Amino acid sequence: MEIKNEVNYGCPIEYTMNLIAGKWKLVILWHLSQEKVMRYGEIKKSLNNITHKMLSQQLKELEADGFIHREAYSQIPPKVEYSLTRSGESLIPILESMSKWGKNHLKEK
């Protein structure tokens, strides 16, 4: 099955990696899968050493690709919440497998 998109990908893995590539994207998705809804500050606290610029960029890309939903509330002080979309939730089994593999691999080291 050939995937049609703006770019011609060699295989489905290449297409998937293009969407989730980024040092922090999978970690952001993992934290959202655990907490369901998180505010920007909560996400930032859960990630070690991420800059404001990088977090903002990664969140914007995840939202543009349909993996997360951004809900902005018009109130003072401003409130923004992030959650997984159905597409983002579909990655949870993959993230769980990666977490399990990481735990097992760390034990071996």
Helix ranges restricted to H, 1-109: 12-20, 25-35, 40-46, 52-64, 86-89, 92-108
pLDDT in tens, 46-105: 998 999 999 999 999 999 999 999 999 999 988 999 999 999 999 999 999 999 999 999
Q: What is the CATH number of the domain that holds 27?
A: 1.10.10.10
Domain that holds residue 25: 12-108
81 found inside a domain: yes
Name the pLDDT band for 107 (thresholds 50, 70, 90).
confident
Number of domains in the chain: 1
pTM, full prediction: 0.85
* Domain assignment of residue 22, yes or no: yes
pLDDT digits (tens, 9 = 90+) for 14-54: 888 888 988 899 999 999 999 999 999 999 999 989 999 99
Specify the residue for token string 């902005």. Answer: 72
Residue 57 lies in a domain: yes
